[in-house]
Amino acid sequence: MRVLGVDPGLTRCGVGVVEGLAGRRAALVAVGVERSDPGAGIDDRLLTIADGLDRWLDAYLPDVVAIERVFAQHNVSTVMGTAQVAGLAMVAAARRGIPVALHTPSEVKAAVTGSGRAGKAQVQHMVAQILGLSEVPRPADAADALALAICHLWRPAGLMDRAELLPNTPAQRAWAAAEQAARRKG
């Protein structure tokens, strides 16, 4: 299964492609960042990012697109652009018939580190470890996109689809707790 992770952002939008099977070793396919000029108009900036996302989808043909779930409570000065880029990624996937999954930051942290409250550096370190990379991908947005893709690949299927399948690793249990917390928040 090939997952394209998107860490949405207007100035820098992280994109990472990871391949693997649920719970197994994951492999890096490609990683990068789409950027738009902060001095340009918002419409041109969104188009630049949309065109970039289209190129990633057409080049890597993922089975799923995993996008960070954006909350209205986040950083107010950037949340509109972030939400809009997330929307563009969803439409780009839907237009190609590719399923979309949204994951919260806590779910992503739990999936790659075992703790929903892990720091950014710890997440990035684990992304490099999991993918067998000698260095942490830069910038942070690129690493975060890979973390999203890994999170989707490693999500405990039982929690989403089958109630009888209980999480059995610390990371899966942490993931489940984070997911339940996010659901309670609504």
Residues that bind a second copy (CB under 8 A): 41-44, 46-47, 50, 70-73, 76, 79-80, 83-88, 90-91, 93-95, 99-100, 102
Cα separation, 166 vs 91, in Å, equals 33
Q: How far from chain centre, in Å, is Cα 184?
A: 21
Closer residue to a second copy, CB minimum distance, 46 or 149: 46
Taking CA atoms, 97 is separated from 39, 146, 152, in Å, by 34, 22, 18
The single residue of 7, 19, 144, 179 carrying the catalytic annotation is 7
User: Shortest Cβ distance from residue 80 to a second copy (Å)?
Assistant: 5
The whole-angstrom separation of Cα 91 and Cα 74 is 22
Measured distance between the N- and C-terminal CA atoms of the chain, rounded to whole angstroms: 29
Q: What six digits make up the tokens of 118?
A: 């892990």
| Cβ atoms of 137 and 7 closer than 8 Å | no
Please, what is the minimum distance in Å from the beta carbon of residue 91 to a second copy? 5
Is 141 one of the catalytic residues? yes
Rank residues 90 and 151 by Cβ distance to a second copy and give the closer one. Answer: 90
Q: Spot the catalytic one: 68, 107, 144, 179.
A: 68
Q: How far is the CB of 159 from a second copy (least distance, A)?
A: 19
Q: How far apart are CA 125 and CA 103, in angstroms?
A: 19
Is 144 marked active-site? no
Residue 179 designated active-site: no
Q: How far is the CB of 84 from a second copy (least distance, A)?
A: 3
Q: Which is nearer to a second copy, 42 or 166 (CB)?
A: 42
Residues classed as catalytic: 7, 68, 141
